[in-house]
Structure 1
Amino acid sequence: MSLRDRIDAVEVRVAEACKRSGRDRDEIKIIAVTKYVSLETARAALDEGLHHIGENRWQDVKPKWEALHERGIWHFIGHLQTNKVKDIIGKFAYIHSLDRLSLAKELQKQAAALNMKVNCLIQVNVSGEDTKFGLAPEQLIAFAQEIKMLENLQIVGLMTMAPYEMAAEATRPVFRTLRELRDKLNELAVLPYRIEHLSMGMSNDFEIAIEEGATWVRLGSVLVGKDEA
């Protein structure tokens, strides 16, 4: 399939998931995860009208960002080491992987030095898998209370990664739990503002994530493919 064909096929599936769940298509944004594709493929994705680009390692994304950063909205979606914050601050519109206090403090320090706010999503390890980063669900409220006074951080939502399941339906409880956690944060007014976004759902399970409230889905192979090594 061509890139255009894959984009069109994904769009049909997104629209159908919205119809099943009674959601407005405009509520969902697609992040094209380009970490496994070349600069040329990332450029082609932007040419085809994909605006949101997701990457997870600065050393890998650097040439793409330098060539294309003015054309897209960039999302840092991978685990972020504290000593790498200085490399990515100010370059990515959203950081999806805030998962510990030391990282929050470093983001605050670097953002304050640049006199800017950084949009962050708190990563929650809903499934409890040892191989995944993120807070345990029961730690979320306390963590949000700890970071709410960091004035250069704007918490815009929550992120999670579901386990890979052969039957995508099996991921539904993970996505539902993240939505419930967001709603609980808002209900308790833990932060001095409401948060909106749910970054959840990837190539194998994004339709279920949409049905459960995703506002951003992170799509790699199903959308932009994977370049041959």
Structure 2
Amino acid sequence: MTIEQNCRKIESTVEAACLTAGRKREEVTVVAVTKTKPVEQVEELYRLGYRHFAENRPEGLIEKQTTLPQEDIYWHYIGTLQTRKVKQVINRIAYFHALDRMSLAKEINERAEKPVSCFVQVNVTGESSKHGLSPSEAIPFIKSLEGFPNITVVGLMTMAPIDATDVELCRCFKDLKIIQEQVAALNLAHAPCTETSMGMSQDYPIAIAEGATFVRVGSAFFAETEA
């Protein structure tokens, strides 16, 4: 399949998931995860109408930003960000999806030239192989960010287990949604927390069913396109 065909399939799947869940299509933002992909393929996604792109390395982010139009693209940084690399990326992105520790928050707040929309990463399932705060740590951590003017907690992010069953996926995403609603109910000025970043290529329809507002789709865009 071509990238264009994959895009049509993804859009059809998102629309169907929204319809089934009784949600509006515009409630879900599809973030194209373009890490490791050549600039030419990202340019094609741009031509096909996508404006949200995600990278996980400073080098990849900078390379693509020097080629693609910048006036209408929203860049996302996903994955672990070392504190020493914050200065390389934080003023190049619109969203950061992996805020999970105080040392990182302090560095972002110091280096950012304006408020950054951040997702606090929550390790809902407690997997030792995944980063993120435990569910019990999430709200105290978010409250502690009140004095950080350059951090706006727009939502929460989680990653589901790769080998999870549909039932386990539902529980994982549902649990994150519950915590997100709890934070939103606090009406914190620095943490409106109205969004949930959850769901990837293998499970984004289930994430949408459980309330995802941002889904991070990568391999589904590029399936069977490699020579």
Q: Specify the TM-score bucket, using the shorter chain as the normaliser.
A: over 0.9
Question: What is the SS of the residue equivalent to 2:128?
Answer: coil
Q: Amino acid of the residue matched to residue 43 of structure 1? A: E
8 Å Cα contact 2:184/2:192 also seen in 1: yes
CA distance in 1, matches of 2:69, 2:225: 21
Question: What is the SS of the residue equivalent to 1:107?
Answer: helix
Alignment deviations for residues 88-119 of structure 1 (CA, whole Å, 9 cap, x no partner): 021010001100000000000012xx2x1111
Q: Amino acid of the residue matched to residue 137 of structure 1? A: P
Aligned to 1:8: 8
Q: Given the two structures, how large is their TM-score scaled by the length of structure 2?
A: 0.94
Identity %: 39
Distance 1:69 1:140, change over 3 A: farther
CA distance in 2, matches of 1:62, 1:193: 28
**Per-residue deviation, 1:60:** 2.8
5+ residue gaps, structure 1: none
Distance 1:37 1:151, change over 3 A: same
User: Once structures 1 and 2 are overlaid, which stretch shifts more, 144-153 or 164-173?
Assistant: 164-173
Q: Amino acid of the residue matched to residue 90 of structure 1? A: N
8 Å Cα contact 1:17/1:210 also seen in 2: yes
8 Å Cα contact 1:141/1:190 also seen in 2: no
Question: What is the SS of the residue equivalent to 2:96?
Answer: strand
Aligned to 2:103: 102
5+ residue gaps, structure 2: none
Structure 1 consecutive aligned stretches of length 4 or more whose deviation exceeds 6 Å: none
Aligned to 2:37: 37
CA distance in 2, matches of 1:149, 1:39: 38
Alignment deviations for residues 134-186 of structure 1 (CA, whole Å, 9 cap, x no partner): 11111011101111221111111110100013644431111001100011112
**Per-residue deviation, 1:12:** 1.0
CA distance in 1, matches of 2:140, 2:23: 31
Distance 1:59 1:12, change over 3 A: same
Q: Amino acid of the residue matched to residue 107 of structure 1? A: I
Aligned to 1:146: 144
After superposition, residues 149-228 of structure 1 pair within 5 angstroms as: 149-165=147-163, 167-190=165-188, 192=190, 194-225=192-223, 228=226
Which structure shows the higher helix fraction?
A: 1
**Per-residue deviation, 1:188:** 3.1
Q: Given the two structures, how large is their TM-score scaled by the length of structure 1?
A: 0.93
Aligned residues between the structures = 226
Q: Amino acid of the residue matched to residue 17 of structure 1? A: A
Q: Amino acid of the residue matched to residue 15 of structure 1? A: E
Question: What is the SS of the residue equivalent to 2:50?
Answer: coil
CA distance in 2, matches of 1:159, 1:44: 27
What is the aligned-residue RMSD (CA, Å)?
1.7
8 Å Cα contact 1:45/1:224 also seen in 2: no
Question: What is the SS of the residue equivalent to 2:30?
Answer: strand
Distance 1:226 1:53, change over 3 A: farther
**Per-residue deviation, 1:212:** 0.4
